[in-house]
Structure 1
Amino acid sequence: MKKVLSLAIVALVSMGILAGCGGKTSSSGIPASASAPKTLKVGAANVPHAEILNFVKPKLQQQGVNLEVIVLDDEVQLNPALADKQIDANYFQHVPYLNAVSKEKGYAFTVASKIHVEPIGLYSKKHTSIAQLPEKAVIAVPNNPSNEYRALVLLQKNGLIKLKEGLADYQATPRDIIDNPKQLKFVEVDAAQLTRTLPDVDGAVINTNFVLEAKIDPNSALFREDADSPYANVLVVRKGDETRDDIQKLNAALQSSEVKQFLKDKYKGAVVPAF
């Protein structure tokens, strides 16, 4: 009898050891590592960035990543939030802006992936063509360095002004204009406020995300950038985090054929893939 009892105890102990080797289990019987998806916090502009992230959220959920999309009223705070580790990544900016702000603030960030381009354009509520722009027309442009340069280069490509040679670091202001046949007048405005200035100016050079938020038809622009614009909007992370498994899964989801089709169907050329 003692021998049988001893064998039973040994068997129970062995089963406990084997269970320990198998790892802890949740109350549902599922291993804890499998039942707790990793939360990935990504700060984003509302349109189109957050919409794109929400589109890929179900796919990431299937891969064990709980994507939390965080939209701030002031997009300028998304880089400080990343630096302070309040979020794991952000998705709202293009490369020239990232380079300019990183140089100014000393951010140790890197690009995880390039996702899309929003062609910037000249919009007007008063005129329907370049030819209609009068002498001394008032044109509003973004007041941050990289986007102001981008706006002025667009005006130059369409024959309205000429910038001086040798401009570096994607920076220029109206003071760098050396030829202005129509004597255009420029006002520098916060990029997010440009759509509100449209009734008061002859034209404004506006980023497509703000155009979409304001429910303005992107195809109503007098002219826009080509799809090969160097201003790709990117997923940005702290240096060293680009190799994280959850970031790699997000990269793959954002650069998928499904996202390409989503951009085509939803934005009709106002947002184009950069991959």
Structure 2
Amino acid sequence: MTLLRGICALLLASVVTASAHAADPDKKEIRFGATAGPYADQIRYGIKPVLEKEGYKVTIVEFTDYVQPNLALADGALDANAFQHEVYLKKFSDDHKLQLTQLIKMPTAPIGIYSHKLKSLTDVKDGATVSLPNDVTNQARAIVLLQQIGWVTLKPGVDPVKSSEHDIATNPHRIKLLPLDAAQLPRSLDDVDYAFINGNFALAAGLKLTDALLLEKIPPYYLNLVAVRTGDLQKPYVKDISAAYRSPEFRHVVDERFQGFSKPDYLR
């Protein structure tokens, strides 16, 4: 009986040790989610090599939408993700009751207006069709640009950051807005007169930032960021991710591969 108790104790101890290892804050494997294109490439060429020198194994998981990366992070399938700005993160986290937190801002490709049919914004015709993102925060970015170029005006008192097509007061060109999933916007170019396309999806589709008829000047709250679970914010691997983004190696990769991206203050 004593021997049996001893065996059980050893088995219990091994289970506890395994559990402690699984929750070890010093873990050396990181699953990093990002939308396919430049943000995955920033990790691939600028962040992964730095973390690997620190002894980490880094796996990049690519997504083609703005929903799954946060759900996967919250569920523990990812350790960090890189694709969204703080306005989107806050709204998504609030709506889905997720405990996710911004770690660090990162270089961001601006949203732009593209066209396969017209050569300038001044060529706009009455009744033109304009595609734009259908998610709330990125649609607001497009509408702010629409207002800046004089194609629409917003109702008095509307917060531009929270604006939608329902907040438009005047539309002198009678523009028809076509909200689409952000990843589908490059494909819409053959069917619409103009398309507002997030920079990462534009680049992933083979467009150049210089192809845009107009690029937004990104305010700080629209710079994309790395997100982690709130409870992991002080863990060593999270601090090492932050340090990798601040490293000279990452700065060099940004300067070489991501010209035209808006940079956070630590990279200026």
- Using structure 2 for the length normalisation, give the TM-score: 0.84
- Which amino acid in structure 2 is aligned with residue 106 of structure 1? K
| TM-aligned CA deviation for residue 236 of structure 1 | 0.5
Map of 1:221-232 to 2, 5 A cutoff?
221-228=212-219, 230-232=221-223
1:138 CA drift (Å): 0.7
For this pair of structures, how many residues does the alignment match? Answer: 239
Give the match for residue 113 of structure 1: 104
C-alpha offsets along residues 154-196 of structure 1, whole Å, 9 cap, x if unaligned?
Answer: 1111222111233349332222111222121111111110111
Q: Identical aligned pairs, as a percentage?
A: 36
Of structures 1 and 2, the one with the larger relative CO (CA 8 A, separation 6+) is 2
- Which of 206, 210, 215 aligns to 1:219? It is 210
Q: Structure 1: 5+ residue runs without aligned partners?
A: 1-35
How far apart are the structure 1 equivalents of 2:188 and 2:99?
35
Distance 2:156 2:255 in 1: 37
Deviations, residues 201-244 of structure 1 (Å, cap 9, x unaligned): 11010100110011012111110111445311111011121111
Out of 28, 49, 54, which is 1:38 matched to?
28
Aligned mate of 2:252, from 248, 257, 261: 261
Comparing 69-78 and 245-254, the one that deviates more: 69-78
2:47 maps to 1:85 = no
Match of 2:41 in 1: 51
Q: Which amino acid aligns with 2:192?
A: V
Q: Distance in 2 between matches of 1:261 and 1:128?
A: 34
Q: Does 1:76 align with 2:70?
A: no
Q: Do 2:65 and 2:183's aligned partners in 1 also have CA atoms closer than 8 Å?
A: no
Alignment match, 1:235: 226
Q: C-alpha displacement at 1:133, in angstroms? A: 0.8
Describe the SS at the equivalent of 1:155: helix
Gaps of 5+ in 2: 1-25
Using the size of structure 1 for normalisation, the TM-score is 0.82
Q: Distance in 1 between matches of 2:68 and 2:44?
A: 21
The RMSD of aligned alpha carbons is 1.8
Change (3 A) 1:46 1:120: same
Q: Of the candidates 231, 242, 246, which is equivalent to residue 237 of structure 2?
A: 246
Amino acid at match of 2:194: G
Please say if residues 27 and 237 of structure 2, whose CA atoms lie closer than 8 Å, have aligned partners that are also in contact.
no
